[in-house]
Amino acid sequence: MQNLILTLILCFSLTANAQTYAKYNGKKESAKTTVRTEDEKTVEKLIMIADDFLNKKQFADAAKYYTEALAYNINVSRVTEGRGMAYFFGAEYEKAIADFDAVLPIAEKPAGIYFNRGLCKHNLHDLTGACDDLTMAKLLDKAYDDPKMFYLLCEQ
């Protein structure tokens, strides 16, 4: 029963995190006078394909396209975070943590990254690391302050 409750709370938290992620990382309007290079257009297409695979729950394919986009060294933060999410949802937690570690120093909104990295660490049974990251997420953004989830993950 406790696992069911934990799973439900985790699902609701991930949904809220996805909505926050979409709000802050959604497609932004660019100035009409901005000229994009062919590489930028290619990266944009690769990200769209990867995002589509992520939405279809085809996580390995999503990670592949994010990795291809990273080769262009354009929009690295967005691409690395996306690949980390693909690894996370594909249960490749070590790879997800590596991507989240890489993107943290350059992230505009690091709370979600701490939160996701904390969930990865929890799934790898690194409870101290998980609780440290979840605490940092809720300190940076009150949207991640869920006492029930924190109790279930950190205070037992």
Report, as an integer, the average pLDDT of 28-48.
78
Please check the confidence at residue 58 and state whether its pLDDT lies above 90: yes
In a domain, 53, yes or no: yes
Query: How many domains does one find in the chain?
Result: 1
In a domain, 3, yes or no: no
User: CA nearest 119: which of 77, 140, 150?
Assistant: 150
In a domain, 46, yes or no: yes
In tens, the pLDDT along 11-34 reads: 445 555 555 555 555 555 444 557
| DSSP-derived secondary structure letter, 79 | H
CB 13 within 8 A of CB 149: yes
- Cα–Cα distances (Å) from 102 to 50, 64, 72, 99, 120, in that order, read 19, 17, 16, 5, 15
Structural domain of residue 44, as residue ranges? 36-154
Which residues are CB-neighbours of 90 under 8 A, at least 6 positions away?
Answer: 59, 60, 63
As a residue count, the chain comes to: 156
- What's 75's domain CATH number? 1.25.40.10
Report, as an integer, the average pLDDT of 70-79.
90
In a domain, 4, yes or no: no
